[in-house]
Structure 1
Amino acid sequence: METGFVPVGPRRTFESAVEQIADRVRLGELSEGDRLPSERQLAEALQISRPTLREAVRVLADAGVLIVRPGSGGGTFVASGYVPIELLRSMSEVRLDEIAGVLEARRMLEPRVAQLAAVNAREEDFARLQAIVDAQRALLAEGDVLAREDRFLQLDMQFHVRIARATGNSTVVGLMRTLLRRLEIARDSALHQPPIAEWVIDIHERTLAAIRSADQERIELVMDEHLAALERAWEDATDRQLVRPIPDFLRPVARRSRAARD
């Protein structure tokens, strides 16, 4: 049976099992109410012992992510689509000087992912992307987004993973999942930048509209704006610059005039 899980390896098996299951939930690949594979199947997929798996499940159940139901119709189920960042924060860290590599990889990959999604996306993909934006709007309507910052940013992660899934390419999805996981830890632990909720929702709506339009240049421009926000935060924190393309209309007037003279 194909479970979607992969071996966690011989080191830190308990932490890796917790992290892998939590990641699937946090990225929206497992939703509230979903049933996990049986204990035997999941232990085999992760290549860990059943006692180690039970310990990982217990931690996730204590955090409110999973619930174990006994009986013939029981099993292990996703109790909540929200995974507290604290559950992952202690297991992963990215130093400030490593973030440049994460941002550069994102710059190389994600605009192309969005452009491929525009070619292959189905109405179901557009509907799911819109549902994520609607969920962010609902959080904003509830009041103080910063009090629910982690929930808001989890939806942000799910938006980007959903774009990758719209490509229909499992290799792309795997690459983006790894990249976004490191990006999330970097943003949380080394480059904390509270989200400007209105801007995030607006850029998501414009990104969705660009992908739906299948206009490759339009996608390139909106993705440049999207990625540049976190890149500027890194530049401000380190007083260093990343090399990135910037559309002419985003450049300061003086720089545009100088470029034209050159």
Structure 2
Amino acid sequence: MEQAEEPAPVTRSGTPGSGAFPSVGPEGRAPGGLGPLQVPSAVDHVADRLLTAIALGEFSVGERLPTERELAEILAVGRPTVRAAIARLRDIGCLEVVRGRSGGHYVRSGWQRESGPAVRRTLLPHWERTKNLLDARCLLESLIARTAAERRDDEDSARITRALEEYTEAADSGDGARIRTSDAMLHRAVARAAKNEPLAVYGHQLLQEISAGFPIEPYGGNLTERALTEHRALVRAVLEGDQEEAGRVAAHHFTITEQTLSAVLERSTDA
């Protein structure tokens, strides 16, 4: 699966207030000593982020969430905050606890009554910036694909071909988690063929900013067939060294993410 070649995850949101989804912090107070403002708590923010990520398909039904420690690191909050947010999702039936060696918190439902408001609170305040980040990602991935078509060698070609085969099998299985994993593997293989590590790192950073703070590709199950068709076209262009076509296909392909976010946001307004 070539996991060692993935760029190191960017696990923190950076300077407070930066990025499309800034790190959550303590409750504020009104100026002039007027007492505490009625603002969302850190637990509220984390619960909203998790509900949004699940609604976006970043965590599929039946999939185990990262551990409390991992979530705390990704979202730049303390473990008690994560624990309280997870308990909230468990109480509304979104998560369930599984005991044993493979135990943990598993996604039980992809959409709850509380999902619509959570999605709106998470996405709407940053929507214009998110659209700019999505555009930047399309431009960057187009550059990566063009460069891969120019610089790929036989080893890269074999790796990309294997990754496409794995994605095809995953798409046939209908397993959302497997589809996301194989999708990431394919795009890592293309990025590696570009032979420029900073490009891959920038792409990873953009993904985390776009995806409610998680370095995971949103997954809309209704777009799997389109993604498979575009993956085949992308691989063909890269392997044939057609830089212009590779860039064009990649730029169009990554509009899938914007469509997924837009569809979930629209659903949240109808809820």
TM-score normalised by L of structure 1:
0.50
Higher RCO (CA-CA < 8 Å; seq separation 6+): 2
